[in-house]
Amino acid sequence: MKRYKVFFTESQTKFQSSCQGQLTHRFWRSLLLVLLFWLAADTDPVFPENPFPPTLPSLTLKAEDRLLVLAPHPDDETLNCGGLIQEAVSLKIPVRIVFFTYGESNQWAFLVSRKHPVLFPPEVRLMGETRRREALKAGKVFNLPENSLIFLGYPDAGTLKIWEEHWADQPPAAGLLSRARAVPYATAFRPGAAYKGEEILRDLEAIIKEFQPTKIFVSHPLDWHPDHRSLYLFSLVSLWDLKSPAEIFPYLTHFPKWPVPPGYRPQLALLPPGRTETDLQWCQLPLTGEQVFRKTAALKQHRSQYRSHRGYLLSFMRTNELFGNLPPVLLREGQPPVLVLTRTAAEMEELAAKSEQGVEHSILLKEKLISLEKEHLVLTIRLSRPLAREIFATIHLFGYRADRPFSEMPKIRLKLGPVHHHVFSLGRALPDDSVLVKRENSLFVLKIPLKLLGEPERIFTDYATETENYFLERLAWRVIIVTKR
């Protein structure tokens, strides 16, 4: 900033001396101030591509509401619910914020903040505490009392792994950088809680039972960040276990090439991404200019993240906040298959053009149907082209029953290759013939015995095309409600 001021002070003097008699001092001074502001601004200038909010239903709050905001990391509460929190505080509606992790594994942010890598577990935990203090400062901007912010302390970037594999007799997961296998923070909700799925459910259910929320705002099942996906899933199980009537409002943070346009655009609306499941329903909370201003001020309290990801984070400072959920897939035995996803040729071409693999090598899901047939869940999947070597499809199938602890229910992962398939449960291999797979070029028909899933009442399932190193496509986790004859 200082170098810009020195540069423009010198430039202003030169311009004034060389342009005497042509333009006034006031003109040059105004011009240079505009240029100075543009170059020294935190982000790109604002362009009015879309100055009005989209036509979406508006979220309304009631006097009797109690709002629970579940945030995967410190800063997610501000990005996605900063205006909501302000609205609730102004209406004197109780608000509770729960942070799933301390966010201790964001190595790039720490490198920018500390000017050196944070590698050793004690330093990593200190960075987690730094992010906690930043969240408390942001809470003060929103006039929230400190005791309304709760930190669980589960492993940053490790909670989806817990969801997939660390239950029951499996050992606790290890933190990515902290290497801890239990909550290491004395400031956490329950220090020493093991990094296991049932422990996460225990904490969430205790908080929900005590606070009795009417509306819960949580990360989205479509989100590409593993902690965001898993928090949604753990939250649903907690609500089902407690038979809670609370409404759930997911918010989206991490999605390819979104928000659009990127950067600081406080005059524009946050628009839903276009490349999602067709039955995804969105609503919005319109924000005032003052609310956007305060939300931005709160965001800047998350200094470690703001310094390293400023342009991206400011993309959420818009005239509205978005919330959207996916309805459950209702399956009844004997009824026709339910079409969960279908894409037109034009949509496939557009997605392939935007794929990092290019049009010639992209493998995308074209159609997905689900049905019940004679004690089997049947998945029919049609891809844009056959699976290639080193590219495979992954499908998870987790059953839920109200009369059985979720930790004891089977958790199945299918890995479909171009020729063979493999079946796993909590990381352990099962016989391949546990699931019948028929394939014909790019068409797969999978028959999964309901017994293998624990005779479930509900089923969690997802879909991804990937290599060993990265994802080519990820679809949202969906809930299937099973109704037999």
Do the Cβ atoms of 146 and 139 come closer than 8 Å? yes
Structural element, H or E, at residue 10 = helix 2-18
Q: Is 26 exposed, middle or buried (0-12, 13-18, 19+ CB in 10 A)?
A: exposed
Residue 15 predicted with pLDDT over 70? no
23 vs 223, higher pLDDT:
223
Residue 278 dihedral angles phi and psi, to the nearest 5°: -70, -25
Give, as one character, the DSSP assignment of residue 375.
Answer: S
Which pTM was predicted?
0.87
Average confidence (pLDDT) over 21-47: 37
> Residue 119: which pLDDT band, with cuts at 50, 70 and 90?
low
pLDDT in tens, 346-398: 777 777 776 665 545 578 899 999 999 989 999 999 999 999 888 999 999 99
Q: Please report, for the chain, the start and end positions of each structural domain, with discontinuous segments joined by +.
A: 2-40, 67-325, 329-483
List the single range of 167-171, 230-234, 357-361 with lowest mean pLDDT: 357-361
Q: Helices then strands (H, E): number in the chain? A: 11, 19
- State the average pLDDT for the chain: 86
Within 13 Å and on the Cβ side, how many CA atoms surround 250?
27
List the single range of 30-34, 124-128, 444-448 with lowest mean pLDDT: 30-34
pLDDT value of residue 120: 73
| 3-state secondary structure (DSSP) of residue 474 | strand
CATH number for the segment(s) 329-483: 2.60.40
pLDDT in tens, 267-290: 999 999 977 777 888 999 999 999
CA–CA dist 36, 9 (Å, integer):
10
Do the Cβ atoms of 155 and 125 come closer than 8 Å? no
pLDDT in tens, 405-422: 999 999 999 999 999 999
pLDDT value of residue 146: 97
55 vs 162, higher pLDDT:
162
Instruction: Find the Cα–Cα–Cα–Cα dihedral 233, 239, 243, 248, rounded to 10°.
Output: -100
Find the largest Cα–Cα distance for the chain. Answer: 92
- β-partners of residue 194 are 182
The CATH superfamily holding the domain 67-325 is LmbE-like (3.40.50.10320)
Average confidence (pLDDT) over 56-77: 97
Rg of the chain taking only CA atoms, in angstroms:
25
Helix, strand, coil percent values for the chain (each to nearest 5): 35, 25, 40
CA–CA dist 256, 354 (Å, integer):
10
> Residue 471: which pLDDT band, with cuts at 50, 70 and 90?
confident
